[in-house]
Amino acid sequence: MALQDYKIALVTGASSGIGAATVRLLAARGLTVHAVARRQERLEALSSQKGTGGDVIPHAVDMRDRVAVYEVFGGLEVDILINSAGIGSRFEPFHELDPDNIDATLETNVSGTLHAARAVAPGMVARGRGHIVNIGSIFGLHAIGSAVYGASKAAVHMLSQDLRHDLKGTGIRVTEVSPGRTDTEIFATMTDDKAVQAGMAQGFEIITAEDVAQAVVWALDQPWRVNISLIEMTATEQIPGGVGIHPVIRQG
């Protein structure tokens, strides 16, 4: 099943960043895309963009609302699920974190991802085809220094690996795309300090949401015999565990 064999996709976290970029690329390939996020106005703006190709259907759903996830997702016939919804835990030291922020991070990044996959998997199994793509992070693959966010993305990593075992023989493929620092709105969920938010996108050229979306589409577009299990991608000048900038190519 290459991308041309699929007709319907569901993308969470679709109101901005990687999710929105992925919606646009899949619609441009002629797929009907169910775009899911909390911000209805953003989704409507995305669905109304001209020249997208396939239809974009908005659904205002909070991924922490398990009942809503099953009510909406369970009634859709989905070939592709892109689990892109996620937030970053706050920049405060772990011992100073608000427990509510810990819960919100885990409920969105882990529980939301799990329940989205659980809601659509029965239909995929019944049809004998499907592809689940989970957006992870290099924080889930390397110890970089954000315990709660790292734990949430490490859970996404193991979920992706174990889903391949659980779904063996069903015809469903599972892919994890784990980007490094990406120019999205996630920094705003980590701090209210505008200067710090801006600083996260400076110092070296970070990857874009479109870069990650292109990787997602590439994995989807492989022939059925090929499962792209894990894509780890970072900026050229970002090294997991730290930032390395060669003095010859550093600019500014």
39-77 tens-digit pLDDT: 898 898 888 875 556 799 999 999 999 999 999 999 999
Place of tokens 């801006």: 198
- Burial of 37 from C-beta contacts in 10 A (0-12 / 13-18 / 19+): buried
CA pair distance 241, 252, nearest whole angstrom: 23
Active site residue 149: yes
86-136 tens-digit pLDDT: 988 777 889 999 999 999 999 999 999 999 999 999 999 999 999 999 999
pLDDT band for 251, please (50, 70, 90 cuts).
very low
3-state secondary structure at position 175: strand
Q: Which residues contact 57 (CB under 8 A, 6 or more apart)?
A: 32, 33, 34, 35, 47
Strand partners, 176: 134, 230
Instruction: Give this prediction's pTM.
Output: 0.88
* Element spanning 182, H or E: strand 182-183
pLDDT attached to residue 90: 73
Q: Which of 6, 73, 139, 149 is catalytic?
A: 149
Structural domains present in the chain: 3-234 (3.40.50.720)
193-221 tens-digit pLDDT: 666 656 666 677 889 999 999 999 999 99
CA pair distance 164, 80, nearest whole angstrom: 15
